Amino acid sequence: MGNPITEPRINWKYLNAFAKLVGVLPIGKPLNFYSFTGKDGSEIIAKDDCPPLYAPWTIDFFFLADIHNFGFWNGEEKYEGPLFGTLGGKKVKGSDLLYKLLLRAFIRDPFELSGPWLRSLSKKRWEEIMTDDNGGVTLLATNERWELTRALGEWFIAHTPPAHMGSRWVANIVSAFHRPAQQMLSRLTDPVRGVPGFKEDPLKKKALLFMMTLANRPEHFLIPEKSFVWRPIVDYHLMRLALRLGLVMLPTDWVSENTERKFTSPKREKAVRRMVFRAVEQIIKKSGRPMAEIDNTMWSARRFCQEVEEPNCAQCAFRNSCAQRTELFQPIIRTTAY
């Protein structure tokens, strides 16, 4: 027996097995943030979640939605469950709820939530937007989210010509630079001049999600240069899967905190997240699959390995390369990064 680990580490046995499997597994099309494929192979338009094709406010919608793509779970002292709301009598979870509420508001008045006009958004109006069938959605109608929304408006005022919206900002970068993707990532995440809600995360999760949306949408607002390297997009779902798959090991004295879903320290959360980031980098390298395909694969794994439901390992395509540590969970911490 070796010495017990004191920091999260990659488990190469499971990582190599997973990378080998992913390298030969049929993988569906990457998310295009407009539609999805039905069981019969037909295209189903996500008309209640995403803007219609060629809507002039599409980029502004995703600017705002992706900045708010964090913290869709309840709990003050420990994790108590995912965020749910009700719209049209139907139960809606997490980011799906956010997208539906924002889309409803954009359809009503796209200018209200676009570009510099965000600076004038009142707290009362933000609370009205974040309302489902049962009233205000407390987790989405916070002062923190309202202030972040207004900060985006202030950024537009400071860094773009008057009245310019997100579509013009993106178009200017795409037309002006030989390496538009790298330039866009740099500008979104610059520590001083970057976008509030994007620039704070050293792993750039939300900025990369926004750029992937622009690239994958049918309009292809962004066509990344061949030299651009997509970094792993590490959120709490990916961390949970990485731990359960056995890709990353936790120190023994961290396990009880994790399985009991208690809040952890920023230091521990950072250590787990960075190790998952490195593990996914290795999977990309070893499998020969691009980041978009790995992201889609990990996303699809959630179908059988969800947050609160009992995992269905028997039906999971990764069962033979998985540690099946289904008791493990994501690190619990409040952050606006993911």
pLDDT tens track for 155-208: 999 998 877 889 999 999 999 899 999 999 999 999 999 999 999 999 999 999
Do the domain assignments include residue 183? no
Q: Containing H/E element for 43?
A: strand 43-45
Task: Round to whole Å and give the CA distance between 207 and 185.
Answer: 7
- Domain containing residue 73: 35-176
**Whether residue 139 is found in the same domain as residue 51:** yes
- pLDDT at residue number 302: 84
The answer, yes or no, to whether residue 328 has pLDDT greater than 60, is yes
Instruction: Spell out the alpha helix ranges (H) of the chain.
Output: 12-24, 58-67, 94-108, 123-129, 143-159, 166-176, 180-189, 205-216, 236-245, 252-259, 266-287, 291-301
Task: Tell me the residue type at 211.
Answer: M
Do the domain assignments include residue 96? yes
pLDDT tens track for 102-134: 999 999 999 999 999 999 999 999 999 999 999
**Whether residue 22 is found in the same domain as residue 42:** no
Number of domains the chain contains:
2
**Whether residue 25 is found in the same domain as residue 66:** no
Task: Round to whole Å and give the CA distance between 5 and 259.
Answer: 18
Distances 143 to 65, 88, 125, 139 between C-alpha atoms, Å: 16, 26, 12, 10
Q: How confident is the model at residue 2 (pLDDT cuts 50, 70, 90)?
A: low
The answer, yes or no, to whether residue 4 has pLDDT greater than 90, is no
- pLDDT at residue number 1: 52
pLDDT tens track for 241-295: 999 999 999 999 999 999 999 999 999 999 999 999 999 999 999 999 999 899 8
114 closest CA partner among 74, 160, 179: 160
**Whether residue 135 is found in the same domain as residue 234:** no
148 closest CA partner among 168, 171, 177, 118: 118
Task: Round to whole Å and give the CA distance between 50 and 107.
Answer: 11
Q: Which residue has the tokens 């060629």?
A: 54
**Whether residue 13 is found in the same domain as residue 51:** no
- pLDDT at residue number 163: 75
**Whether residue 26 is found in the same domain as residue 50:** no
3-state DSSP call for residue 141? coil
**Whether residue 312 is found in the same domain as residue 264:** yes
- pLDDT at residue number 164: 83
Sorted by sequence, the CB contacts under 8 Å of residue 103 that are 6+ apart come out as 48, 49, 50, 51, 61
**Whether residue 168 is found in the same domain as residue 295:** no
**Whether residue 26 is found in the same domain as residue 66:** no
Q: How many CA atoms lie within 13 A of 229 on its CB side?
A: 5
**Whether residue 72 is found in the same domain as residue 171:** yes
Q: What are phi and psi of 313, to 5 degrees?
A: -65, -35
Put simply, whether the predicted model's pTM sits higher than 0.85 gets the answer yes
